[in-house]
Structure 1
Amino acid sequence: MEEQAVEVEVPSYFLCPITLDVMRDPVTLPTGITYDRHAIHRWLRLADGATSATCPLTKLPVAPDCEPTPNHTLHRLIHSWCARNPAAAVDSIERISTPPVSANLGPLVSRLADPKKPERETLAALREIRDVAGESEPGRELVAAFPGAADALFAVLVSTSASSEADMALDAISSLRLAEPCLVRAVDRDGMALVDALVSMLQRDADAVSRARAAMLLADVTACMAPSRASSLPEQVFVEAVRLLRDNDGGASTAAIKAALRVLAGATSYGRNRIKAAQAGAVAALVEVLLDVVEGGRRRAWCELALCALDRLCGCAEGRAALVAHAAGVAAVGEMVVGTSAAASGKAVRVLRSVARHAATAEVVREMVATGAVTKLCAVAVSPETQERTKERARETLRMHAVAWRSSPCIHPNRYPC
């Protein structure tokens, strides 16, 4: 007769009250209740910015930046129980087989904050923090929520002159996927020094992965800057963004190019930045992005960002001059008027309207007809699927040079809507 296996129940005090899973790294709040560290850190992080959080069980107030006390005794009990009951706790053993690293984060963060530490010790601390953040989702959340960890990483990135330390700090920051409030605090604290540090990393011609991380963080940082700072970015920001776009067929990754487009689309909402971007060659680089979309049909997600940047650049004379000077500028934008998303079509019409209003020499007017841009404006102006605002802008553009375009042999008179 076969012996029936006896089901072993997991002791209730081994389970986190929040997740109801066996705790990997039990910690105790000042209220006396023990939770898994990553779960309680997430709970407290949700209260960030409030005057106080509460203990999930007792509802007693707890400071959002409270650092719970590691419960080493309970951790040893859980590990011992899982070892004695492998059949009943396969998942639990896997969860706790790795010793908790959270207790070491405090000394690691302190080591980063000490400017007198030798470079090798700083690198070792950065490596350990990066490994914790990269090993699992709980590890990432643990480092992101640990008081002072993100600030210390940003401080290293801004202050170090050693490329190895900067790359390691950037690697760790990228692993954390920090929320916008944390980035805003970093920007408010470090200001343009953070932008300068990221630009320097792009200038170093590091490997593709490091360049992509620097570009993505630069896009995030500039997006959450206050207008007073974002409106006066250094010229080198635009030079490096353009260089990434021109490296499309070289070593630049898709993520890096998209980040460069985000930088240009966001920063050119300010007048002074438009001139800097135009002087850095942004218009020609953006036209090449559109041509790549037209010819290859790939990366259509880039289209809206490129057109948004071109629309803003055409808000200055330098941007419009660069667009009409490009041999394929008008044609590339005209191709985006139809067959794209509503947002892309609207931006393309806005660009053509700017050209027709402010840069329409006789040669440009003829080019708009020859490249098919006018025909596409006609199609958009009468299409029932086009948004009303885009229709009106297309009609407005067509009325500007109606005499020249209506008499053109390239335009069928029955199709002209004005």
Structure 2
Amino acid sequence: MDDVEIPEYFICPISLHIMKDPVTAVTGITYDRESIEQWLLKRHNATCPVSKQPLPRDSELTPNNTLCRLIRAWCTANSPPDMDQVPTPKPPMSKFHFANLIRGLWLPNSQLEALQKLEALARENESNRKQMVEAGVTKPVISFVVACHRKEVTTGLAEALSIFFLIRSSLNQTKLVLIGNDEIIDALTWVLVCDLDHLDHSLTIKTHAISALKMLVQKANSSTLGRLKPDFFNRIIRYIKESNSQQGINAALQVMLDSCPSGRNRIMMVEAGAVSELIELEFSSAEKKTTELIFGILYHLCSCADGRAQFLSHAAGVAIVTKRILKVSPAADRRAMLILSLISKFSGTVGVVQEMLRVGAVAKLCMVIQADCESHLKDKAREILRTHSNAWKDSPCIDVHTLTSDKISRLTL
């Protein structure tokens, strides 16, 4: 009966479909559970979609059992086309049930079964994931990954990392401190380079591992970051070279960027060949975020002499940074200009200055001055041009209109 009018209060205000599992928010508005949980998942401090009142992610969603029964009865009586989409909702899992499953993670004979059940429940909805975190699932799951590393076994690894990946948004809302055991970081980087070809979805497993590592490094204190080992960066760079997951590559780049404030870490990255690998990656990159991350890391690495030397030893280093200016994003422009500034100021030999001219860096700096961009970028371009104006102003490689005498006079003031 396509012409049957569906009662308005049966319709979820978000999905605009008949509600399968109606729940009422603290604002008094009823939504389909899946729709409102997804709404809250995407916003750390959300507002109620209907009332626009504050609706924190951890606010209680109360099952509207009366409305659920009315919807099912109406569907049975009217047989709408989507009747089969309104099943009887499952009762919410109790914390006691999750606690029992989590206890199984500590028992060798029941670990795999417990991991499989917890992963399936975590995939169902945000409510399950939140209850898992509150029941203490994080520690035994991470401990399991560490144990896999120690024993060099992979059974159950996919399920454990999948659970951690699924509950990561709920972890962000807790005060749980996951850092403190360097073995966790060692175990996750081991997964990145581990031979997992015998497992299904090996790429997904490594993507989950690098996502977990990204989260842990972001939560790490300076002491933990100061204890990172050369193998850490060797494995990250190897993963970047071998991965074909853009999400995973970006997560790995974020890990490197978050590790850059430590001078010791920058030295280890350079020694691991990070500069050359990042330049090569930029050649194949088509994503704005990837370029921004690469340039952010290169800026930090070019702050040390060995990093600049490695950057300049790559035939395309200056060229690729120059090419991206004014073509990607303001963030990429800022980082690219900082890289060129460091090269110009600390490594501006005759050969480097001529290289900047040859690959079009000088012309691009003049374009920045004339472009509609941030004033501090223009100031940085003027500073670089002023530093080497004597070497560039008479070059036949620069069009006569590119650097007029008026511009040169302003640059040298």
What is the total number of aligned residue pairs between the two structures? 372
Q: Is the 8 A contact 1:287 1:332 kept in 2?
A: yes
Counterpart of 2:291 (choices 303, 308, 319) is 303
Note the 1:90-169 alignment, pairs <5 A: 94-97=85-88, 99-100=90-91, 102-103=92-93, 106-114=96-104, 116-119=106-109, 121-134=110-123, 139-146=124-131, 148=133, 151-159=136-144, 160-161=147-148, 162-169=153-160
Q: 1:123 to 1:229 in 2, by over 3 A?
A: same
TM-score by length of 2: 0.74
CA distance in 1, matches of 2:4, 2:19: 20
2:383: which partner in 1?
396
User: How far has the Cα of 1:217 moved from its partner?
Assistant: 2.1
1:275-301 Cα deviation digits (max 9, x unpaired): 1211121111111122224xxxx3333
Counterpart of 2:162 (choices 161, 171, 188) is 171
Whether 1:289 and 2:277 are equivalent positions in the alignment is no
Q: Is the 8 A contact 2:282 2:294 kept in 1?
A: yes
User: How far has the Cα of 1:391 moved from its partner?
Assistant: 0.8
Counterpart of 1:256 (choices 248, 253, 256) is 248
CA distance in 2, matches of 1:253, 1:40: 30
Percent identity reads: 27
User: How far has the Cα of 1:396 moved from its partner?
Assistant: 0.9
Note the 1:51-62 alignment, pairs <5 A: none
1:179-216 Cα deviation digits (max 9, x unpaired): 4634762424x543332221121121331111111112
Q: Is the 8 A contact 2:21 2:32 kept in 1?
A: yes
Note the 1:15-414 alignment, pairs <5 A: 24=21, 78=69, 82=73, 85=76, 87=78, 94-97=85-88, 99-100=90-91, 102-103=92-93, 106-114=96-104, 116-119=106-109, 121-134=110-123, 139-146=124-131, 148=133, 151-159=136-144, 160-161=147-148, 162-179=153-170, 181-182=172-173, 185-188=176-179, 190-206=180-196, 207-247=202-242, 251-293=243-285, 298-380=286-368, 382-414=369-401
User: How far has the Cα of 1:84 moved from its partner?
Assistant: 9.7
Gapped regions of structure 1 (runs ≥ 5): 28-34, 49-63
TM-score by length of 1: 0.73
Q: Is the 8 A contact 1:132 1:143 kept in 2?
A: yes
Query: What amino acid does structure 1 have at the position aligned with 2:220?
Result: M
User: How far has the Cα of 1:126 moved from its partner?
Assistant: 1.5
CA distance in 2, matches of 1:274, 1:378: 31
More off after superposition, 211-220 vs 178-187: 178-187
Query: What amino acid does structure 2 have at the position aligned with 1:240?
Result: R
RMSD of the alignment, in Å? 4.3
User: How far has the Cα of 1:104 moved from its partner?
Assistant: 6.4
CA distance in 2, matches of 1:8, 1:373: 65
User: How far has the Cα of 1:361 moved from its partner?
Assistant: 2.3
CA distance in 1, matches of 2:34, 2:329: 41
Gapped regions of structure 2 (runs ≥ 5): 25-30, 45-57, 197-201
Query: What amino acid does structure 1 have at the position aligned with 2:338?
Result: R
User: How far has the Cα of 1:266 moved from its partner?
Assistant: 2.3
